[in-house]
Amino acid sequence: MANRVVMPKLTDTMEEGVLLKWYKHEGEKVESGDPIAEVETDKAVMDLEAFASGTLKKILVPEGYVVPSGDLIALIAREDENIDEVLSHESKPRMRKKN
C-alpha cells in the first residue's frame, strides 16, 4: 500500500512550507526516519523524514515551490507497486513558485 508524504505542519503557526531540496530521487529506496527533503517553514529550515520504508515512487512538488501544510508532495510504495490508482484519487498539490 502506498504511503502519502504530505507537507507537514512543523510549527503551530505554519500554514505552508517551501520544498527547498529533495535529498532522495524517484526510484530510490528510503527507510523510515531517513531525511528525504529540506523544508522551509515560517520560522526555520528543517529536514522532512520518511514515515515509511519503501521506494520513493513519485515526487509531486519540485524544489522551490510553496505548498500548503497537508498537501500531498510525494508517494512512497513498494518497488513493484503501481501507484496510478492512488494518484487518480488524490488532489493535485496547490503549489506556487517561491518568489
First-to-last C-alpha distance (Å) of the chain? 36
pTM: 0.91
The H or E element containing residue 87 is helix 84-88
In terms of Cβ atoms closer than 10 Å to its own Cβ (0-12, 13-18, 19+), residue 5 is buried
Domain range summary for the chain, segments of one domain joined by +? 3-94
Of 50 and 1, more confident: 50
What fold is seen in the domain 3-94?
OB fold (Dihydrolipoamide Acetyltransferase, E2P) (2.40.50)
Question: Is-contact 19 63, C-beta < 8 A?
Answer: yes
pLDDT digits (tens, 9 = 90+) for 8-64: 887 788 899 999 999 999 999 999 999 999 999 888 899 999 999 999 999 999 999
Name the residue with cell 523544508.
39
Amino acid 32: pLDDT: 96
